[in-house]
Structure 1
Amino acid sequence: MAPKKAVAKAGRDGAKPQQSAGRKTGGTTSNGEKPANKRKKASNADVPQKAPRRSGRGESKTQPSQEQLLRYMLSKNTEELCRPDEESEDIQSRGDIKTYSSDVMNPFEELLSAVILSRPISHRLGLRTIRTIFNDPYNFTSAKAVQQAGQEKHHQAVWDARTQHKAKTAEEIGQIANVILEKFTTSADKDGTQLQKLLDDSGNDVDKALDTLKASIKGLGETGIKIFLRRIQWLWSSGYPYIDDRTMHSLGKLGLPEDAEELEGLIAKHWSKFDKKRLAGDDEAARKRRAFVTVLERAVGADLEGKVDNVLAAAGEKP
């Protein structure tokens, strides 16, 4: 069963619903996924929250207001605190390259990324692999591009990424492209980037679409489905708003609502205060969904990089 949007309903197995948590998973992956836990619903009052414990010396600083925090997290300034240092160094060295942490990706790229990040490797290695396959000289940005590249290039790409499980990852990249081209492309999407046929064939039912995708893609498990939905929901609006269990944990550390509808409402409440120039989306509704996804991704990134305190401190500084 696919993850449920907003507050999850009882599953088909009769289990009690998890609050915006989706499926239960075991272990920890490169994206930091952990088993789902019931959590208390966060307060929706837009006031400074109690600051989290700090391991460093000195007194703890006051937590910024939720408005301050969201405004900072939606600004370009926060990008460096939500990615590995080696990614920042790679950007400085190579210039304008596509990264998972800050670029808008098409549905095929999101799917490939979700499978890579759900493998039992570090967050750093997962992001390095994504940067390698989506940029020169490989540019595996569509199912057609992957298929045309051939197996030898698939293997060379993951070898250049210096990642783990190279053979397995290279095999999965090729298999995913083949499945997308065989099952989920249309005459309007011959390159296989949008996966719109998957959603259309499911009657715009995101849960059904995700179940079909999971059954069709070898290597795409529960954790990968959660990562994919977390990122794709701004485009697949029938799956919005959704927060997976791992991201709830990160939002809690920042003092932001862990409930999907509360966070959606908080963003809407302060929408006029945000810098929206860099937000993708064809209309305001889409840009709000994109803002929601951006906050989720940056919360997880800051948490995985151990920079939650840095984000809080920077958000609380006077402009």
Structure 2
Amino acid sequence: MVDELLREHGTTYAEAAGIELADKPSPLFELLVLTMLSSTRISADIAVKAARELFRAGWRTPQKMLDSTWRQRVEALGRGSYRRYDESTATKLEELSRMVLDEYGGDLRRIRPQGENAADDLARVIASFPRIGPTGARIFCREVQDVWPEVWPYFDDRALKSAEKLGLPAEPRELADLAPEGRVAVLAAALARVKPKE
């Protein structure tokens, strides 16, 4: 069942957006941008497409995002079919970038969580960024867990419900043990994507 899931849906949203996720400032910022784009009422595919357009323009760091104009960001979002929210999102991208620079010196590794409640602590911090909130925070935690093992194993409610409907364990550690090494985020993303039959 897990092999089939990974074969059919085995790509994280970060991978789909062209992000080579690593414990480095630029890819973590890219993930935060993707998370923000995914936090509105818009399809995941459109959020990924819009993120690819922003990154194709070279805006992979908070400073480079701030160096772009509002109009350039609107146009890039439009090319990514992110039209319903393009103007407000262009503004929010500036706010997000400024917050990353001002509060974290441009380096999101400063929010890397430690301790027993690492995932909850990280989700709280991520939810405080412009337009992200709890749903986006769960996306970030799910995607970053193979890079920040302190968050591992992270499956949001949607992924756990899918696992249960598919007859897989609904307990995060048991579910994580079914994933290939270093690919728990991929399994979590696959479970978030799949629509099991009732």
TM-score (norm 1): 0.52
Residue 212 to residue 266, structure 1, CA distance change in 2 (3 Å) = closer
Q: Does 1:237 align with 2:149?
A: yes
**Which structure 2 residues correspond to residues 84-123 of structure 1 after superposition, within 5 A?**
99-100=16-17, 104-105=20-21, 106-123=27-44
Give the helix-richer structure, 1 or 2.
Answer: 2
On the 8 A contact 1:214/1:220 being kept in 2, the answer is yes
Q: 1:165 — aligned with what?
A: 85
Q: Which amino acid aligns with 2:2?
A: L
On the 8 A contact 2:28/2:108 being kept in 1, the answer is yes
Distance 2:127 2:194 in 1: 28
Displacement of 1:300 after TM fit? 2.1
Which of 99, 105, 117 matches 1:179?
99
Displacement of 1:150 after TM fit? 2.7
Q: Does 1:147 align with 2:39?
A: no
Distance 1:240 1:210 in 2: 13
On the 8 A contact 1:158/1:166 being kept in 2, the answer is yes
Q: Which amino acid aligns with 2:16?
A: T
Q: 1:130 — aligned with what?
A: 51
The runs of at least 4 aligned residues of structure 1 exceeding 4 Å deviation read 202-205
What is the DSSP-based 3-state SS (H/G/I as helix, E as strand, rest coil) of the residue aligned with 1:266?
coil
Displacement of 1:103 after TM fit? 5.0
Q: 1:291 — aligned with what?
A: 183
Residue 153 to residue 237, structure 1, CA distance change in 2 (3 Å) = same
Displacement of 1:73 after TM fit? 4.2
On the 8 A contact 1:132/1:160 being kept in 2, the answer is yes
Residue 78 to residue 212, structure 1, CA distance change in 2 (3 Å) = closer
Between structure 1 and structure 2, the one with the greater Rg is: 1
Cα-to-partner distance string for 1:183-204 (whole Å, 9 max, x where unaligned): 112xxxxxx3x511123xx656
Cα-to-partner distance string for 1:27-85 (whole Å, 9 max, x where unaligned): xxxxxxxxxxxxxxxxxxxxxxxxxxxxxxxxxxxxxxxxxx333444xx535x879xx
**Aligned residues between the structures:** 187
On the 8 A contact 1:82/1:302 being kept in 2, the answer is no
Cα-to-partner distance string for 1:104-138 (whole Å, 9 max, x where unaligned): 33221111111111101223322222222222xx1
TM-score (norm 2): 0.80
Distance 2:48 2:122 in 1: 26
Distance 1:122 1:203 in 2: 32
Distance 1:223 1:214 in 2: 8
Distance 1:110 1:174 in 2: 15
On the 8 A contact 2:38/2:47 being kept in 1, the answer is yes
Residue 237 to residue 172, structure 1, CA distance change in 2 (3 Å) = same
Residue 140 to residue 251, structure 1, CA distance change in 2 (3 Å) = farther
Q: Which amino acid aligns with 1:116?
A: L
What is the DSSP-based 3-state SS (H/G/I as helix, E as strand, rest coil) of the residue aligned with 2:141?
helix
Cα-to-partner distance string for 1:239-271 (whole Å, 9 max, x where unaligned): 21111111112323433222211112333xxx5
Displacement of 1:211 after TM fit? 2.4
Q: Report the aligned-residue RMSD.
A: 2.7
Structure 2 residue runs of 5 or longer lacking an equivalent are: 22-26
Q: Does 1:264 align with 2:194?
A: no
**Greater relative contact order (Cα < 8 A, sep 6+):** 1
Distance 1:213 1:195 in 2: 10
Displacement of 1:141 after TM fit? 1.9
Cα-to-partner distance string for 1:277-308 (whole Å, 9 max, x where unaligned): xxxxxxxxxxx2x31111111222333xxxx6
Residue 126 to residue 237, structure 1, CA distance change in 2 (3 Å) = same
Distance 1:256 1:139 in 2: 41
Q: Which amino acid aligns with 2:110?
A: K
What is the DSSP-based 3-state SS (H/G/I as helix, E as strand, rest coil) of the residue aligned with 2:71?
helix
